[in-house]
Amino acid sequence: MPQTLPTDRDQLMLELINRARANPQAEATRLLGGNLNEGLSPGTISTDAKQPLAFNLNLNAAAEGHSQWMLDNNVFSHTGANGSSSGTRMAEAGYPFTGGWGRGENLAWKGTTGTVNFTQYVIDNHDNLFVDAGVSGRGHRLNLMNASYREVGISSIQGLFTTSSGTTYNSVMTTQDFAYSSNRGPFLTGVAYTDAVTDDDFYTVGEGLGNVTVTAVEVSNPSNTASTTTWSSGGYNLELSSGTYDVTFSGDFNNDGQTDTVTQSATIGSTNVKLDLATDTINFAPTPTSGSDNLTGSAGNDSIKALGGNDIVDGGDGSDTLLGAGGNDVLNGEAGNDRLLGGNGNDELNGGDNNDTLFGQAGADLLQGNFGSDVLNGGTENDTLFGGEDGDTLIGHNDDDVLNGEAGDDRLLGGNGNDELNGGDNNDTLFGQAGTDLLNGGSGNDKLIGGTDNDILSGGDDRDTLIGQDGDDLLTGNSGNDRLLGGNGNDTLLGTDETAAGVGEQDVLRGNAGRDRFVLGDSTQAYYLGNSNLDRAIVADFTLGEDRIQLHGSAAEYQLREANGHTQIRSSGDLVAIVQNSTGLALNDPSVFEYAI
């Protein structure tokens, strides 16, 4: 059986159902004098919100077929063509009842010997099903409020209907087919509409926006992307895994021949989520030209797309979406949770206040998050990113990028290319990823992970953790009590530096695989001296015949002491380091010790 798209009136009925499910008590106040469980035992239907229903086009086909069959045969019954049940009709239409599943069906009709108001009769059929007057057990209301149902098919058809008494009515016949199946969903669902017919912040027949592209991109995993287009009724569905998504609506919302874009956020758990687009809430900027424009948004939520030329776009207040397109553009989000996309060219993107999302895209771009917890993605070519205040996420993506976390607990990901990552203040996490990267933690308790290739990691102040991973890496803890892990490759590990010299520090150095060098002094000084046994390095995994320990000066300046299966390196009684799980070492053995002079 072919799938059936919803009509405007089917969409209207779904909006009425989902309004009731979102606030059952408000619907009961509107239709039942406030008694949600009228005709039922108290507490049978809870006042809790129920997940919104999503259209299923197979269920729509089943509903349409049954509504038409009832009109054609002057029968009002759940038993349909050839004695079929509602479940048989849903299955034959293609709905997959697998795993845990459930189903239900509501029928309603209203007629007159006069002229039918089709839309009003659809509304009346919904109201009558919710009230369920004279129906024992109020089964229609229970179906409408069943929290397990996830999908629905709806069909209201206008036609002649003759009752058993012989009276023929101009009527509207409605079928609602509800279902859930454990292998389906959850769904992001909703409707795009203008609100231009009635202007009541609710969908009205004739307000739907068809052919709007809806794209959901998971924030933590941008490769997880799903997209669809709205039906002529304005409705849409996307089946998504759990996560938080940026959801972008794209289309010509104000009939000016330009593509408008609005991005919202949706978090999907185990149940459906409803996300609508009402275009009357969008403030449209003046139409851009192919030249170099100055475009300014309003105090509301703007969607501004520049064209060719070197443009300056200011979003103003509100949560804005700014698109640079071609040229070297400057995009200023200013106040609100903004979304800025540079497009081609060497662009400058400034987030402003609040929590912004910046995409440099093509070109060598400058991205500045400023205030708020921002997400910055450089895109292709060599980009420079500044997080600004608060905890930001910076992603270099391709080519050779410079990422600066600045204040706040930041997360920096270099991506491909030879990148420079600077954590700045507070407790940052830096991932060099692919390429030969330079990672600087700055102040705070930072975590640095080099990734592939030969990386340079510097912890900076405070207690840092440095992990080289693959490649021949250089790890320097600098000041503070640091933990260094070389990973694969031939790594060089310094728990301190020539300025701090290890005074007051207790660093842990673990080379892991490969021929590693543990540096406990340089050509000018020994490290970890001057504070008796209170400062030292721990060499956690020295491998005889592979690794080397570098000291300052000569063997005559040091003494070895074995205790509990470990070897202490001392100088004039002052503890320098402990080489764990190693004994029998000799200071004059060049396969163990090397001296910088």
pLDDT tens track for 34-91:
999 999 999 999 999 999 999 999 999 999 999 999 999 999 999 999 999 999 999 9
- What is the CATH architecture assignment of 8-181? 3-Layer(aba) Sandwich (3.40)
pLDDT of 289: 72
- pLDDT above 60 for 285: no
Q: Average pLDDT of 557-577?
A: 96
Which amino acid type is present at position 582?
A: S
Q: Average pLDDT of 458-468?
A: 97
pLDDT of 16: 99
Q: What is the mean pLDDT of the chain?
A: 95
Q: Extract the tokens encoding 407.
A: 């204040």
Work out the angle at residue 55's Cα, subtended by the Cα atoms of residues 54 and 57, and round it to the nearest 5 degrees: 145
Q: Average pLDDT of 315-343?
A: 92
* Rounded Cα distance, 430 and 409, in Å: 11
* Rounded Cα distance, 228 and 206, in Å: 21
C-beta of residue 316 within 8 angstroms of C-beta of residue 272? no
Per-residue pLDDT band for 283 (boundaries 50, 70, 90) equals low
pLDDT of 284: 63
pLDDT of 293: 84
Per-residue pLDDT band for 298 (boundaries 50, 70, 90) equals confident
Per-residue pLDDT band for 281 (boundaries 50, 70, 90) equals confident
- pLDDT above 90 for 303: no
Q: Average pLDDT of 450-471?
A: 97
Q: How many CB atoms lie within 10 A of CB 506?
A: 16
Q: What percent of the chain has pLDDT over 90?
A: 88
Q: Average pLDDT of 400-429?
A: 97
282-510: CATH number = 2.160.20.160
Q: Average pLDDT of 341-345?
A: 93
What's the CATH fold of domain 187-281?
A: Immunoglobulin-like (2.60.40)
Q: What residue ranges do the domains of the chain occupy?
A: 8-181, 187-281, 282-510
Per-residue pLDDT band for 561 (boundaries 50, 70, 90) equals very high
* Rounded Cα distance, 491 and 471, in Å: 8
* Rounded Cα distance, 399 and 202, in Å: 47
Q: Extract the tokens encoding 387.
A: 């997080």
Residue 425 CA, chain-centre distance (Å), reads 26
C-beta of residue 339 within 8 angstroms of C-beta of residue 320? yes
3-state DSSP assignment of residue 176 = strand
Query: How many angstroms separate the Cα of 125 from the Cα of each of 33, 171, 485?
Result: 18, 11, 69
- The single-letter DSSP state of residue 557 is G
Of 498 and 545, more confident? 545
Q: Average pLDDT of 289-304?
A: 82
C-beta of residue 238 within 8 angstroms of C-beta of residue 187? yes
C-beta of residue 556 within 8 angstroms of C-beta of residue 508? no
Per-residue pLDDT band for 286 (boundaries 50, 70, 90) equals low
Q: Which segment of 40-49, 111-120, 261-270, 300-309 scores lowest on mean pLDDT?
A: 300-309
Residues in the chain: 597
pLDDT of 500: 86
pLDDT digits (tens, 9 = 90+) for 108-127: 999 999 999 999 999 999 99
Which amino acid type is present at position 171?
A: S
Q: What percent of the chain has pLDDT over 70?
A: 99
Query: How many angstroms separate the Cα of 381 from the Cα of each of 44, 411, 416?
Result: 60, 21, 10
